[in-house]
Amino acid sequence: MTNDIRPDIRTLSREEIRQGLAQHDDKKFRVRQIYEWLWMNACISFDEMTNIPSPTREFLKTNFTFYTAIAEAEQKSKDGTIKVGFRLYDRSLIEGVLIPSEDRYTACISSQVGCILGCKFCATGNGGFTRNLTVGEIFDQVVYLSKLAGYIRKPSDVNLNQLSVIRHSLSNIVFMGMGEPFLNYNQVKKSIEKITSGESLGMSPQRITVSSIGIPKMIRTMADDNPKYLFAISLHAANDEKRNQIIPFNLNHPLSEIISALKYYHLKTKKRITIEYILFAGFNDSLADAHELALFCRNFPVKINLIEYNPVKETDFIGSDPSVTRAFVNFLEKRNLVVNVRKSRGKDIDAACGQLTTNLLKSN
């Protein structure tokens, strides 16, 4: 862990950068140039700011720093899924995933180093929690995966790190990687502001989804912010007895609290809620479970994403049989619910969230 007390320049506003720079370079346009390098050109070092005078760059190096996420390892699946391990300034590791689907490219990104919630089916939870990511570290994942998507679409011999930012090469972004986004809400919100800004990547917020296990207080906070991005709740069980077994957080914040918060969210935003539901064989995939899920979904407009489980060797869970999944889907559709089945991707690599990081840490 570094003891560097210099502020991370990407955590600062334009005005804060201007104030920090004022004693050295009082050119009015200088802050605009620096800001463009940070967020439109997505640079990760002051040396890349080639139209900034050398004395000013040296001043920046002396007084500010970058907390970056640098791609260190990649795994590519037979189905085209690419998992990337990113090394952070303090030597921590996180993961991002690029998921291709016909003409769509979805980036699954992390919001924390590890996770404190300890969900029983998740490899990330087994590794504990280190810290929150900064806005820049979240942004770096999106930039790299966007470049990767653009490179796949139009291959070249150029090193990815030498490519300029490719706007709109990603179809969607989901905050479903390592960590609980609501436990790092301010940095997640700021990163989305940068990703969607016309002065940066310019991505539509309607193509961004924040996924949470459901923290009632933060659902209400988000609703009050009236976000333009989409929201998904990782439910995985529609009764407290089963949800308590797989999501310890539910012991203190049961489904009644979550339902109340989700009703508030819909009242404030008028938006449909996405329900994410992983099917675990013999645990939550019976028709009785489907009935409970249907009752849960009566509370507000929803669409349901049924997710095929990507097994984690540290757990005893396995995915449901396809015939069981079909019966589950049919039950819900007969009740006029919108259901999508999300197939597991990257089964031949460390696909489950947290697995690549765990293996990289073991090898170092």
Catalytic residue among 43, 95, 122, 180: 95
Q: Indicate if 353 belongs to the active site.
A: yes
Residues 6+ apart with CB under 8 A from 10: 38, 66, 67, 134, 135, 136, 139
Catalytic residue among 108, 119, 297, 353: 353
Cα–Cα dist 153/103, whole Å = 9
Q: Indicate if 36 belongs to the active site.
A: no
Q: 99 — phi, psi (to 5°)? A: -115, 110
> Is the sign of the CA dihedral 16, 18, 19, 24 positive or negative?
positive
Q: How far is CA 274 from the centre of its chain?
A: 15
Cα–Cα dist 292/141, whole Å = 37
Distances (CA, A) of 126 to 37, 250, 355: 38, 17, 10
Strand 273-279 and strand 302-308: the pairing is parallel
Q: Exposed, middle or buried by CB within 10 Å (0-12, 13-18, 19+), for 251? A: exposed
Residues 6+ apart with CB under 8 A from 17: 9, 31, 34, 35
Cα–Cα dist 61/175, whole Å = 31
Please list the active-site residues. Answer: 95, 353
